[in-house]
Copies of this chain bind each other. A is one copy, B any other.
Amino acid sequence: MKNNCYSVIIAGGKGTRFWPLSRAQRPKQLLKILSNRSLIDETAERVHTLTHSSRTLVVTVAEQVDAMRKELRALPRANFIAEPQGKNTAPCIGLAALEVLRRDPDGVMIILPADHWVANVKAFQQTLQAAVKLAVRQDRLITIGIRPDYPETGYGYIMKGKMTDGAAKPASFQVRRFTEKPNATLAKKLVRQGSLWNSGIFVWQAATLIDLLNRYQPEIGARLGTIDKAAKGKSLGNPNPKLRAVIAREYQKMPSISIDYAVLEKAGAEGKVLTVEADFGWSDVGSWAAVHRMMHKDAHGNAGNGRWLQLGAKNCLIHSPDRLVVLLGIENAVVVDTADALLVGALNRSQEVRELVDELQRQGLGHYTIK
């Protein structure tokens, strides 16, 4: 791929959905739940042939930078950009856009959440190559839309409009409308209508994004401008104390808003957003149930990491790297074993793990959520 392409890995995941494995100091992107490599390591590996490690950036909150550097040793130190605090995705992507522009005024950004799963890496790379071409040739914002396997209620949906180029593969479309997480009835309807899952993977030219931020979100645009001026052409990945203070001050005043609300929905309404329809096997790995869906299962539907044994158990997920787990006649359960805490849950209620973490806090057991 061309030298002006940059992967921007957004590592904003927190340690709640995969408790007790995930903790505040061990967020989801660092977990090894689907293989013996962390999700962020696999994400970086997946884009390596597209943008090489020199053009792969990681944006994360300041207190996570050291852990991310340790996890992705192949990446240069200056490629890690620290957010002073979490402000959702719009400020974060804006900051990365400044860094890409500084490196290359014609820079193209591939935005990738750090903690997703992709089955077919080759198809994934081909899709992104097509998306980059489209982003440059038509100067549009590109979202990667995933052909749905089932009516998931935990994802956002993209309603497709006109096809942009009948001959091209993979096919691309105008985006007609974004729909936030639907209820079950609407999800079914959307799938029937041919809507796509919104993967949160985006491709666009950095300059185009900054233009649109200035237009739709003048406050964010202006504060990014202040940061850019203070940087005086120096890298945002390794700011001196003065620059770091400017970033902290401006960031603190920015609104916390997602790139979807801040830019995509508005640009979509003006016909500036396209979607590339993809089918490379994708998940946002949003819960233990999602992990179970992705893993290779035995004849009884059980899957796991670590040492386990079952007698009459069905559709269970086990994560126990250190101790023997024995399942007896239990069904649709998730068992997660860690050094100090153990979760035994109904797999179909695993989206409630977040509430468990809140409950632990309320009961004075917050130390079980830290490390």
- Find the B residue at minimum CB distance from A343: B326
Task: Please give the residue numbers on chain A whose beta carbons come within 8 Å of chain B beta carbons, in ascending order.
Answer: 20, 309, 311-312, 320, 323-331, 333, 335, 337, 339-346, 348-350, 352-353, 355-356, 359-360, 363, 365, 368
Taking CB as reference atom, which chain B residue is nearest A355? Answer: B311
Residues from chain B with a CB closer than 8 A to the CB of A330 are 333, 344-346
A329 to B331, CA, bound (A): 12
- Is B323 within 8 A of A340, CB to CB? yes
Q: Identify A341's interface contact among B326, B342, B343, B349, CB under 8 A.
A: B326
Q: Tell me the nearest residue of chain B to A320, going by C-beta.
A: B342
Q: Which of B348, B353, B365 contacts A324 (CB 8 A)?
A: B365
A255 to chain B, nearest CB (A): 33
Residue A342 contacts which of B20, B335, B340 (CB distance < 8 angstroms)?
A: B335
Q: Are B342 and A329 within 8 A (Cβ)?
A: no
Closest Cβ of chain B to A289, distance in Å, is: 12
B-side contacts of A352, CB under 8 Å: 311-312, 328-329
Q: Evaluate contact between A325 and B311: CB separation under 8 angstroms.
A: no
Contacts of A312 in B (CB 8 A): 346, 349, 352
Query: A342 contacts which chain B residues (CB < 8 A)?
Result: 320, 323-326, 335, 337, 342
Check if A335 sits within 8 Å of B328, measured CB to CB.
no
Contact A325 B344 (CB under 8 A): yes
Within 8 Å by CB of A349, from B324, B329, B333, lies B329
Q: Closest chain B residue to A342 by CB distance?
A: B325
Q: Report which of B309, B355, B360 forms a contact with A365, defined as CB distance below 8 A.
A: B309
A20 to B355 CA separation, bound complex (whole angstroms): 30
The CA of A359 and the CA of B345, in the complex, are separated in Å by 25
Other-chain residue from B329, B339, B343 in contact with A345 (beta carbon distance below 8 A): B329
Residue of B nearest to A336 (CB): B326
Q: Closest CB of chain B to A11's CB: distance in Å?
A: 27
Measured in the bound complex, the distance between the Cα atoms of B345 and A327 in whole Å is 6
Which residues in B have their C-beta under 8 angstroms from that of A326? Answer: 20, 341-345, 356, 360
A340 and B356 CA atoms in complex are apart in Å by 26
Q: Tell me whether A344 and B340 are in contact (CB under 8 A).
A: no
Chain B residues whose CB sits within 8 angstroms of the CB of A340 once the complex forms: 323-324
Please, which residues of chain B bring their CB within 8 A of the CB of A324?
Answer: 340-342, 365, 368
Q: Name the residue of chain B whose CB is nearest to the CB of A335.
A: B344
| Residue contact B328 to A345, C-beta cutoff 8 Å | yes
- Chain B residues contacting A344 (CB-CB under 8 Å) are 325-328, 330, 333, 335, 344
